[in-house]
Structure 1
Amino acid sequence: MTDAAALDLYGALTEPATLTIRRLLPAPIERVWAYLTDDSLRRRWLAAGVMEPRVGAPFEFVWRNDELTTPSGARPEGYSEEHRMQGRITACDPPRRLAFEWPGAGHVAFELEGNGQRTLLTVIHSRLPDRKTTLGVSAGWHAHLDLLAVRIAGGEARPFWDEMVRLRTDYERQLPA
């Protein structure tokens, strides 16, 4: 397993339309898997929505980012209080791999590698349709994964929207146009 010091906290374009971002999380693989698949845990760091972890299963995620942290920070222009997205699971190998298709927004794969009380989580978001989506996805995954790490560790989170805005600016500078 990769050491925490070797991880680049920022995601990178590993192909022109593919973002890869990794986090070393302080929890066993089964606990991280639960944070991906259990609605009551996932809604605390990403989005609500019941998901049946089996290939072919449809699901709907409901983002309410204003509710993720207190305070939430200033919601940027162009974002609403709630966002819904439907998907379909394309791979499920508990607790090592979960992948799904988001029509119009690409394909997402979560790969987990456990080592005792730590888990390396790799998110691969491929088939990104354009730069605007790539920037939003990059900042979004980064902010949500940071929040996941805080939730798992039981720490205090920074205002979600403030982090999202800061990260979008960072990604605009570092990702190729």
Structure 2
Amino acid sequence: MQAGTSNEYGAVLESGAVRFERLLSGPIERVWAYLTEADKRATWFCGGETEPHAGGQIALYFKHSQITDEPPPESHRKMNDEGALMGGTVTVWEPPHRLSFTWQGMGDPDSDVEIELTPAGDKVRLVLTHRRLATKSRMANVSSGWHLHLGLLEDQLLGQKPRGFWSRHERLMAEYAERQHEAE
């Protein structure tokens, strides 16, 4: 999916599930490293170690001041400045093609994330599906978050200056909430 097109948006698959697809700069092993190595993942999403096997733990340490220099809204200042630790359990570990894990934290019921990588010429197709999002507000928040974070991943892989995060967050959350409403 090309950045800047309507295909950049995640697609609602079913109630409580969203799917994103991106065509990224490869090779596949490099993209895998940005998904699984704490220092690389911290440049676009969140830090934290991943035990490299099914049944292993994944730490999700969000500290957005590491991925953007934009000031956060007051509601996200603590996570931005001090960080927030969440986690989960790796359910699939198939390097460099498939990573799945449960996501626990933020006071919400657990959800499931699946990321698949496939070669596409000199690019890599990333398909990310997040399921079991319990509420519409969680669905909008997670959808806008993945939208923004995947954009930052694209920037990292291209060696570009990271695009804005907080300046786009509230608008995207509202857009995803509206998209859900229209899909009903």
Give the structure-1-normalised TM-score: 0.90
User: 2: distance between equivalents of 1:76 and 1:110?
Assistant: 31
* Counterpart in the other structure of 2:70: 72
* Counterpart in the other structure of 1:43: 42
Residue 95 (str. 1) matches residue 100 (str. 2): no
User: 1: distance between equivalents of 2:178 and 2:136?
Assistant: 12
Identify unmatched segments of 5+ residues in structure 2.
none
Q: CA deviation at 1:79?
A: 5.5
Q: CA deviation at 1:171?
A: 0.9
Q: How does 1:63-142 map to 2 (within 5 A)?
A: 63-69=62-68, 71-77=69-75, 80-81=78-79, 82-103=83-104, 104-142=109-147
For residue 160 of structure 1, the aligned residue among 155, 165, 168 is: 165
| Residues 47, 64 of structure 1: 8 Å contact kept | yes
Letter in 2 for 1:150: D
Q: CA deviation at 1:153?
A: 0.4
Q: CA deviation at 1:78?
A: 5.0
Letter in 1 for 2:128: V
User: 1: distance between equivalents of 2:119 and 2:139?
Assistant: 28
Of Structure 1 and Structure 2, which has the larger fraction of its residues in helix?
2
Identify unmatched segments of 5+ residues in structure 1.
none
Give the structure-2-normalised TM-score: 0.87
User: 2: distance between equivalents of 1:75 and 1:133?
Assistant: 18
Of 158-167 and 76-85, more deviation after overlay is shown by 76-85
User: 1: distance between equivalents of 2:8 and 2:74?
Assistant: 23
| Residues 29, 114 of structure 1: 8 Å contact kept | yes
**What RMSD, in angstroms, separates the aligned Cα atoms of the two structures?**
1.9
- 1:8 match: secondary structure: helix
Which of the pair has the greater relative contact order for Cα pairs under 8 Å at 6+ separation?
Answer: 1
* Number of residues of Structure 1 aligned to a counterpart in Structure 2: 174
Q: CA deviation at 1:26?
A: 1.4
- State the percentage of identical aligned residues: 33
| Residues 135, 171 of structure 1: 8 Å contact kept | yes
Q: CA deviation at 1:12?
A: 1.2
